[in-house]
Homo-oligomer: A and B are copies of this chain.
Amino acid sequence: MSTLIVPQQVPSVADDCEQLRKAFAGWGTNEDLIISILGHRNATQRKQIRQTYAEMHGEDLLKALDKELTNDFESLVTVWVLDPAERDAFLANVATKKFTSTNQVLMEIACTRSSHELLLARQAYHARYKKSLEEDVAQHVTGDFCKLLFPLVCSYRYEGDEVNMSLAKSEAKIIRDKIEKKSYNDEELIRILATRSRAQINATLNQYKNEFGNDINKDLKTEPQDEFLALLRATVKCLTSPARYFAKVLRLAIERRGTDEGALTRVVATRAEVDMKMIKEEYQRRSSVHLERAIGKDTHGDYEKMLLALVGDESA
């Protein structure tokens, strides 16, 4: 479901490093050359390029990119070059440092990665920041947001398909009860979303819909302006249909007045190799326009070219 286009004949890692070095050399920078290489290599290949570049040229590729590139293009190339776990650690760290009640990045990382990927992100967080992700979340996030986000970032969910139907029924009732009382920050409600396996949560929410008539997220929309409720709805969405969640993030990032480049960069860089094909389908279904076209309309220059390369635009 990746949209990344890797050429059938990939040059050797040493060749890629040599070409990148050339792209940086002299006056100006050859951005097209950078995109033609880094925009068309998978995570393993990029990791090898970064290692080999450091060995050949005695400099971290990220440092070199930082010197040569600017603005949104630089941000995109930089997070893209990072190893996925390191990238998640970086994005999570930024989110804890500048946490606001509308920032859903921590939840997004906690709920759309596999248990193992989330663990790798926590390990990368140790290595990079010399502390744990959860201590930063616990320290910087407060109130109901912390009550929900702390167990989410600490979770190591069971990933099997087994479903306990009687548990699904009883927990659907618990959820219904809390929603009726508008106890959206209730411990039981949070416990269920933060600890149950995705398969179990799906069964519980199907049961909820069968028994009580609505999608849970419809019932959670009573106060559309409430930011905690918005986070709760997004949590449900990330756990049950991540592609729909990401398509919506892209829509909001693109359709608002003035693009939200941060969100656009994050979603494209983190999902290109995961489920961008599905996200594109969802995007088109809801916006009646191809994502590539929307990106082309809203961005420009090297940033646009790199985005288009990553979402699999054949011409990029």
Give A6 Cβ to nearest chain B Cβ, in Å. 32
Is the C-beta of A135 less than 8 angstroms from some C-beta in chain B? yes
Is the C-beta of A294 less than 8 angstroms from some C-beta in chain B? no
Q: If A119-B119, A139-B191, A191-B139 touch, does A134 touch B154 (CB 8 Å cutoff)?
A: yes
Q: Flag the segment in A58-66, A70-78, A157-165, A297-305 that touches B.
A: A157-165
Contacts of A270 in B (CB 8 A): none
Chain A 251-282 interface mask (CB, 8 Å, partner B; 1/0): 00000000000000000000000000000000
Is the C-beta of A131 less than 8 angstroms from some C-beta in chain B? yes
Contacts of A126 in B (CB 8 A): 156, 158-160
Q: Which B residue sits closest to A139, measured CB to CB?
A: B191
Is the C-beta of A132 less than 8 angstroms from some C-beta in chain B? yes
Taken together as a complex, chains A and B put the C-alpha atoms of A135 and B195 apart, in Å, by 5
Give A288 Cβ to nearest chain B Cβ, in Å. 41
* Contact pick for A156, options B134, B139, B162, B195, CB 8 Å: B134
Taken together as a complex, chains A and B put the C-alpha atoms of A156 and B150 apart, in Å, by 12
Taken together as a complex, chains A and B put the C-alpha atoms of A119 and B138 apart, in Å, by 20
Give A195 Cβ to nearest chain B Cβ, in Å. 4
Q: Please tell me the number of chain A residues within 8 Å of chain B, measured between CB atoms.
A: 26
B195 touches A160 (CB 8 A): no
Contacts of A194 in B (CB 8 A): 138
Taken together as a complex, chains A and B put the C-alpha atoms of A194 and B122 apart, in Å, by 15
B195 touches A162 (CB 8 A): no
Give A86 Cβ to nearest chain B Cβ, in Å. 16
B135 touches A196 (CB 8 A): yes
Q: Which B residue sits closest to A123, measured CB to CB?
A: B156
A132 touches B191 (CB 8 A): no
Contacts of A130 in B (CB 8 A): 158, 160, 162
Is the C-beta of A197 less than 8 angstroms from some C-beta in chain B? yes
Taken together as a complex, chains A and B put the C-alpha atoms of A150 and B190 apart, in Å, by 13
Contacts of A157 in B (CB 8 A): 132
Other than the given A119-B119, A134-B195, 16 more pairs (CB < 8 A) read: A119-B156, A123-B156, A126-B156, A126-B160, A130-B160, A131-B158, A132-B155, A132-B158, A132-B195, A134-B151, A134-B154, A134-B155, A134-B156, A138-B151, A138-B195, A139-B195
A-side interface residues toward B, CB under 8 Å? 119, 122-123, 126, 130-132, 134-135, 138-139, 150-151, 154-160, 162, 191, 194-197
5 A-B contacts (beta carbon < 8 Å):
A126-B159, A131-B158, A132-B157, A139-B195, A154-B154
